[in-house]
Structures are given as structure tokens and as C-alpha cells.
Structure 1
Amino acid sequence: MAFHFNIGRDDLLKAIGAQQNITNKKGTLAILSNVLLEVQPDHIVLTGTDLEIGLKQRVPAEVLETGTLTLPAKKLFEVARESGSSILSLKELDNNWVEISAGPSLYRLAGMVADEFPSFPAYNEEAMVIMESVILADLVDKTVFSIAQDKENMFTLTAAMLQKVMQDDHVMLKMVTSDGHRLTIMSKEVETSLEQLHLNPITLIPRRGVQEIRKFCENKTSLSFGVEEKQAVLKSDDSLLIIRLMEGDFPDFQGLLSVLSKENSIRIDRIRFLESLKRINLFTEDLFHAIKMDIADNTMVLTSQNADFGSAKDEFNVEYSGPPLTLGFNCRYFIETLQVMEGDVITASINTQESPCMITSDEDKGFLSIIMPMKL
């Protein structure tokens, strides 16, 4: 049956906009760049998938005729975005064409039959628990930057590991990411009801899935969350997100944590440090962003050199009473870490010139970052 419905521009734009990162992925199946429209008697259901991530959304609409078809997601988004009308009318014509009326504008968009569209994964509703969306959002915000890019040798580093641990009779959710040069951990205490949340021995969420989780959390107070053997599921009143989990092992970071100590601890004004790093980074080499840190007598001196442009130096006060240290680090790693942290003062703990730097803050409970040194 050919569908015909009217829909608010903002409602369509919000829904189809959320599908862009999923449907815009270049793939072998042409229909995966389309979004499935299932027009029900009093609403429409939009579904997009790339076979790894699937998003299903319920959107209010004035339905005149029901029906099902797929339309190019990017083009539908562009039409809605540029439309000057607050209401769009979509009417299916012969041969899978759809006529879109938006005020004085009229568009004809070629669709594809829904028969070829992949079926949406089934999921276990009983395995899901209700949780505050801000918890997942905070876990992602504090760790997503250190997930490895696809070129990394160890493929599983392109995912975030999610853990549930018991700590002093409290239930903690922990997200761990690493690109081989740095490690970031964020732990959040959650309600005891999350004891019912089942996680796999190793739960790995791919980077794109982590990014979609963050977007899913926006403008939501709570959501339902579940992890099954091969997929993670997030559900709200009008949306359903399913992410295929990655298989494999994650590096044993507990061994690294056990050998780090806080013998040489430097207390640093976070904002002052961040501003200095951004200035020094202007004169680092593009590939490694190497900087030199000299620390002695409550003073830190940062220097960088660029073969083509010159050099930079910045000096400021810190709290440090240990032996003098001369260190080399990737400046960008420190910048990205400090940008997501909370609190006025951070603590940088470094055992020796060759050891990793551990960054924490008393004002940012649950956050820990480890950055590996560079040879200068």
C-alpha cells in the first residue's frame, strides 16, 4: 500500500539526523544508505543500519495512508534541513517514487522496496536494566578520546571495554580505553539495581558504537540498557539502539596499575597547565607532538621545537619537592586528558624519567589516565 503522511520538519530532522553516521558509511549494499520508513496508523518508524549498528525511532506524524518503503537517508536529511516549511508531506507514487511537499517546494525522491532491507536484530527485554543516561554519557565523555584508530595493530584497542565491579559494597560501572600509548579509566558508582546488569567476561564496544551511545543519551533522563553475548542494547520511550560487540581480548591494564606509585607527585593547576600545553603544541612536530618537561623546585618548564618554524618555551609554578625530572611526552595526549577532566588541581605521578605518568584529581572521582613517555 502506498503511504501518505504529514510530519513536522523538526521531528523528521531530529530523527533522520540521528541516522546520518550509521547510514552514511560506505558499504557494499546500496540499500544500507537508505532509511526504512514504516508508516503506521498514528506514527512512523524510522530504521537505519550498517549491520553493526542499528537505530530504530518512533516519530509522531499525521498518517493518511500506511505503507513501507526505504528512502536515501542523506538526501531526505538534506531536504528536511533546507526546507522552509514547518510541515512536510510525503506521498508514495508509482515505481517507489516519493513526492515531498514542503510549502511552495516540491521534490521527487527515488526509493527502494523494503524487501531487501536487513531485518532488525531481536533482543532480550528481560536482560535490560533502567539507569540514568548521565552515567553512560559521563563514562563515554571521559574515555572516548583514547580509543585507538583503525590502523592500530591490536584491533581490539579500537573498542572501549565496559566492566561492572563491586567496590566496598558499591556497584561500579567502569569504561577503559587505550590506544597503546595511553590508558584512560572512568568509574562511576551506580544504583544497586544495576547488580542485575549482565556483562560478558570481556565486553568490547566498538568506537563508533560508543559514539552512538553518547548521542543516544542526549536529552534523556533515563534509559534501559542491556548487554547480550553479541550485542549491546539501549532503549528509550521512542528509540532503540543495538550495537554489535567486538570479539577478542583487551590488554591486562591491572598489571600496569599495580606497579605505578605516587612517590613523585606533582600538583598542577589544571587550566594553567592546559593553556601552556596548547601554546607549546604550536611548535611541535606534526607526527609525534613531542614536548620536553623539566620539573624542579616547584617549577615546570615546557619546551618544544619544530624544524621548520622554531621553538617555544613556557614556565609556571607547581607543587613538587622530589628530585629534578626531565621528561618527554606527546603534548596532545596531555591536552586531550586535561580537557575532559574536572577540578582545579590535578596530580601527576611519575616514578622515574622513563616511567608512565599517572594523572588523577581529587575533584574528579573515578577518573585515571596513564600516558606513556617518549624518548627525547
Structure 2
Amino acid sequence: MTTHPERSSAELIEVEDAKLAHNYHPLPVVVAEAEGAWVRDVEGRRYLDMLAGYSALNFGHRNPVLIEAAHRQLDRLTLTSRAFHNDRLAGFAEQLADLTGLDMTLPMNTGAEAVESGIKLARKWAYEVKGVAQDQANIVVAEGNFHGRTTTIVSFSDDPVARTNFGPFTPGFRSVPYDDLAAMEAAIDENTAAVLIEPIQGEAGVLIPSDGYLAGVRELTRRHNVLFIADEIQSGLGRTGTTLAVEHEGVQPDLLLLGKALGGGIVPVSAVVGRREVVRVLGPGQHGSTFGGNPLAAAVGSAVVGLLETGEFQQRAKDLGAVLTERLGALVGRGVLGYRSRGLWAGVDIDPEIGTGREVSKLLMAEGVLVKDTHGSTIRLAPPLSISEEDLRTAIDSLERVLSR
């Protein structure tokens, strides 16, 4: 086996550029170590992580409870496939049901797999339970959505970067403006299987719908005998100050899509959690995943649920979210055109005269703070829920300095 001497950030970035597909455009920092809310690059420089793996690291880098759970399981059993039962999966499914108030779990690995699985469940339910004519089912989605980048999912995206030159696209989706109940109701017909939305649109810039929107979606879907699928892959598991973002309006979907933080930043874990009569439409061989529900994933996922059962992280997101909102509000008119925040999650619109979102992200990187741009001059802030108030204030101090240059 060929070994390489330790290489600099510049050298490693050059190798990536030559040897990796260019499907990402990362900031020029090469992370080598991490703990809590802090990371360190190969040269030893420290950075405050204000992105947390797009909410995959809600509980911080290398959370000791989660690392211990992973170590214990690594010494026992990592994979059986679903050809056999394993001793960790039943407990994980029970815990997810208790946490969400739903009945059954379909375990998968990535967020996109959870979305694809939710779509398949909704279609099968429509044909076998609702009585929709074969191959006529449609699903209503929202403009500006981000649910992943598989072929089916980009079929109902309106992001040209995600769609261009990837057709032909999968039919069966109707897109309506986000936060528009009238448009949603107009799109629903007798063949509609489900409405699929993000309770908060993350990739679009942390767009928060009007009060009553989620409750309105729930009422519409019940009235028309349509499933409500909530994609909480980014918004769920403590990020917004509640376990799930739908809890801000006291609603419960028929199918809940989870991922990212469910794996604690250690292994990819996702799940569709839903009502028994919906999930039960699947039979053996009709859907699957070799790694979905593997013992290591179930052990880590159970430990994640255990952290959420205490309510500590939800309360931290709520309390520190108030600090974040206060500090961002003070920057409006001083380089910030506007912002949207809920819990420890914010989309911040920077004055384009200061720079694009990527340019501002690079300026913050030079200050020792890592964020990521989304569209235009918007940046997203999503620190680990374990971040200290002092570190949170340090990050916003850095943003203030960058904006005042």
C-alpha cells in the first residue's frame, strides 16, 4: 500500500481537485480534527463551526455519549443486513415511535433515501388504500424545495443547478408556491397521494412559513384524504427549539422524514416514521437497504434519541436562539438586509454591496468562523446545539467585523 507523508491544506485541495468529482464547491479549509463546536485544520488552525454539517452535527463533533455508544457497538456487531434480526433495531424503532408520537419506522441511511422511501410509501398507499387508479397518483410539493439530488427528487426541484441536463424527469409531481394554502388546495385532486413539504425550507435560506400554514396543510390533507409528509431532515431533532419543527404549530404528519442529526455525525442514519396503516402497505421485497437499520446505526440512533429525550438540547436551541435573534437584529441596516431564524438556525441576507454569500463566508473563515452560503448573498448559520453562549457571541462578533470593513 502506498503511503503519503503529511501534506498541507493547499496540497490536499489540489489532489481533491484532480481526483474527486466536482459536485461540491467547499471552502478552502481542510479539517483534520474536531471536538464540540470547534474544528482544527491540518496546519493546526482552529475554527468555530457554525454550520454543523447542515444540522448533521446537532450534538457537536464527537459528542462523548454518541462516541461511547458507537465504540461499544463496534466491539460487538456492525452489520447483519436485514436478512436477519439484530438486537439493536427493535429498541431504536420503539424509541423513535415514542419520540415522534408515531407508530412504525422504515430505517434507511441517507436523507435522500428517506425522501425516496416516503414517496414510494405514499404512492403505494394511494393505490391500495385510497383507491387511486394505477399510475395516476400525484404528489404536491413546494417551490424552492430541497429534498435531495436523486433523479426522482430533482424531477420536482426548481433549482436549475440541480436539474439541468439530468432529464428525462420522473412524472407525478405538482409544484405550488411555498406558504400558499390556496394554491396547495387548488393542486389537490382525487389522485393526490400526498403533500410533501419542509416545515422550514433550509436550502432556500431558512424560509419560515406564516403562522398557521402547517396547521392549514394538516387540515387540507385530512379533509381531502391526502397524506402529509414532513421532511424534517434538516429542521428536526432539536434544531428549532423543539424536537420537530411541526411542533411549533402542534401538528403531526402522517409520514415524518428524518436524517442528518439522527446519525449524530458518526454514521449515516435516516428513517421514515409514520402511521401504522401507511407504513404497513410495504411487504417483504418491495423496498429495502442492505445497511438500513444496521446495528451500529441503530445503536448511535438510539443514543441520539436518548439525548433528545432529556429536552436539554431543545431548550439550548431555544435559549441560544434568542441570543442569535437579538444579535442578528442589531445588525439589520449595518450590512444585513434581513434575516429569518428559529431556534439555532438562521438565514442571513447580506447586503450584496459587501459581497456574495461565498465571499462573506471566506471573510469569516479568515476570522476563524465557518459558515456556508446558499443563494446569492445569503449565508446560513446552524451551529451545534452544544455551542456555548460565549462562542456563539464570538461568531456574531466576527460577522459584525466582516460587515463593517
TM-score (norm 1): 0.29
Query: If the length of structure 2 is used for normalisation, what is the TM-score?
Result: 0.27
Structure with the larger RCO, 1 or 2 (CA within 8 Å, 6+ apart): 2
User: Which structure: greater strand fraction?
Assistant: 1
Greater C-alpha radius of gyration: 1
